[in-house]
Structure 1
Amino acid sequence: MNALFRKRIGISENDNITFESLNRVLEKTAETIPFENLCIIENKTSNITKENLIKKILVNNEGGLCYELNSILYFFLIENGFNAVLTGGVIYNNATQEYQALGRTHVTILVTHKEQTYLLDTGFGGNLPLKPVPLTGETVTSNNGEFRIKRVNSEHGDYVFEMKLKHKDTTWKIGYAFDSKKFINDVSELDEIQRIIIEHEESPFNKSPLITRLTTGGNLTLTNTTFTQCIDGIISKEEIDNLRFKELLKRHFGM
C-alpha cells in the first residue's frame, strides 16, 4: 500500500516522510487523486475496506469522496509512523448559513505531532488547505488560500474548519464542524456515511457526476454539462456533451 500510494502521487519509495514533508504529500495528493462521485452515479459502490480502497484509488487510479480519499491518506500516514485518527464532520452551507441535514458525513484526519494536534484534509473538493492546520487557531497559508480552526461549543463538534480561498473569498467562511474527541475506529463505520451520501435527498453527490482536482495554479472541475478551468484566478467554462465529457475525463483525470 505504501509503495502504491507513493507511485500514485509521484513520491520516491526511498523518501522519508516526516511531518515537515506533509505539505508536499498533501499538494501531490490533491493534484493527482481527483475528488469524484462516479461510483455513486454509476451505482458501482463497494463496502469501505482498506483492500477495496487500495484497489479503487491506487490500482484502478480512480478518485473518491472524502471518506475514501482521507481514509487512504490515513492508512498511508499510519504506515509511515504518524499518530493519526479519522473523525467525522458536519458540512456548513454558507449560502443558507446552516449545517447540512445529512449530519456527520464529512470525514477528515487529525494528526498529533510533538503534543500538538493538526487537521489534514485531502477530501474537501477544491477547499483543501494543502498543509496541516493546527487546532490552535493559527492561520495557515498555502497556494490554495488561508485556513484556520476555531474552538467552538456546538452540537456539531468542538471545532470548526474555516477557509478563505485564493481568488474566491474575501471573508472567512465555515467549511465544517468536527469533533476532536469522537474518532472513527474502523473504516467499516464509513459504510453508513456512504449509504447516506447515496440515498439522502439533500446529498449533493447522488444526482450528477462531479470530478475536480487541484492544479499548481488553480483547479479543474468537470460535470456532465460543463468543464471549468481556474488558472491563477482566471476562470474559463466550456459547455460539453457526453462524448466530450469522456474525452476530458481521460485527459485531465486519467479515468
Structure 2
Amino acid sequence: MSNLNELFRKRIGLSSSIPVTFASLNTILELTAATIPFENLCTLSGDPNGLNEGHLVEKIIERNEGGLCYDLNGILYLFLKENGLDVQLVRGSVYVPDLKGFSPTGRTHAAILLNDDGKRYLVDTGFGGNLPLRPVPMDGTEITSPSGEFRVKKEASEFGDYFLEMKLKYKDPDWKIGYAFDSREPVENIRDLSEMKKTITTHPHSPFNKKPLLTRVTSDGSMVLTETSFTSWTEAGVKKEEIDPKRFKELAKEFYNIEVK
C-alpha cells in the first residue's frame, strides 16, 4: 500500500486493520464526512494549482484543509482505487432550486461511480450538506442513511443519463433533485478535473468564489458556517447564530478544525 493509504486512514481515523471493501464503505463515508469539511477558502484565495495526487495530499492531509467536490471526491477516489476497488470519476451538474434549473457553471460537480459484484453505485463525499453517507445503487433502489433518503434515477438530460434525488433529514418533506450526472463519460485521470476547478474558481456565477462557506455532515445532523451565520440541523431542530468575523474564526477552528487567518 502507498503512503496515501496510510495518510488518508490517519486523516479520517480509520484503523489500519480495517480492510477497504464495499462492506466498510459506510464507515469510511461517515468518517470522511465528519473529519474533512466541504469548504471554499482556497477557492476564495484563487488557488491556481492543478489537481493531482500530490496537491490533494498536501492540501487535505498535510495542511489539514477540506475542499470542494473535486478535492474531496478526488482524494477519496484515489484512496479507494489504491485499495483495489473498481471506481471511476464522473462529471455532473448541480440543480439550483432558486434558478429552477441547473447551475450556470455547467458540469462542475465531480462524483464517483463504484462497480461491485455486478452492481453499480454512486458514491459522493463532496456534495456539501447533502451527503448520502452510503453508496447509492444505480438501479433506483432507495436507501436511508443518517442524513436522509437518497436514490439514483435513470433519466436523460443535457447533463447526463442519471439524476441523484434526495430527501434530507430535518430539511426536506419531499424528494428533490440533487444533480444530474453522466455515467457514459468517465474521467480518465484526476488531472482532467483541473478545468472544472478553474471554472469554479473564476466563473462569475460560481457560488463558491464570493464568500466563505464551510459545511460538515455528521451522524446526527449537519452544520453550515458563513461569514455572517452558523446554522445547524439536528433532531432538536434548526439553530442559527448570527456571528461576527472573530466568532467566524472561532467556529471554523472549533467545528471544522481549520485555522482562518
Q: If the TM-score is normalised by the length of the shorter chain, which range does it land in?
A: over 0.9
Q: Where does structure 1 differ by over 6 angstroms across 4 or more consecutive aligned residues?
A: none
How many residues matched?
A: 255
Pairing 1:236–2:239 present: yes
Which SS does the other structure have where 1:77 is aligned? helix
Deviation track 1:195-218 (CA, whole Å, cap 9, x = no partner) reads: 111111111001100001012211
Using structure 2 for the length normalisation, give the TM-score: 0.95
Deviation track 1:175-222 (CA, whole Å, cap 9, x = no partner) reads: 111111101111111111111111111110011000010122111211
Pairing 1:6–2:9 present: yes
Equivalent in the alignment of 1:32: 35
Whole-Å separation in 1 of the counterparts to 2:173 and 2:252: 31
Whole-Å separation in 2 of the counterparts to 1:225 and 1:167: 22
Whole-Å separation in 2 of the counterparts to 1:122 and 1:163: 14
Which SS does the other structure have where 1:118 is aligned? strand
Quick check: 2:93–2:102 contact (8 Å CA) kept in 1? yes
Equivalent in the alignment of 2:130: 127
Equivalent in the alignment of 1:117: 120
Structure 2: segments with no counterpart, 5+ residues: none
Quick check: 2:170–2:233 contact (8 Å CA) kept in 1? no
Identity in percent: 51
Which SS does the other structure have where 1:204 is aligned? coil
Q: Which moved more, 1:137-146 or 1:89-98?
A: 89-98
Equivalent in the alignment of 2:155: 152
Quick check: 2:170–2:234 contact (8 Å CA) kept in 1? no
**Map of 1:221-232 to 2, 5 A cutoff?**
221-232=224-235
Aligned counterpart for 2:64 among listed residues 51, 61, 65:
61
Using structure 1 for the length normalisation, give the TM-score: 0.97
Quick check: 1:218–1:233 contact (8 Å CA) kept in 2? no
Quick check: 2:151–2:166 contact (8 Å CA) kept in 1? yes
Tell me the C-alpha RMSD between the 2 structures: 1.0
Whole-Å separation in 2 of the counterparts to 1:63 and 1:144: 20
Quick check: 1:39–1:45 contact (8 Å CA) kept in 2? no
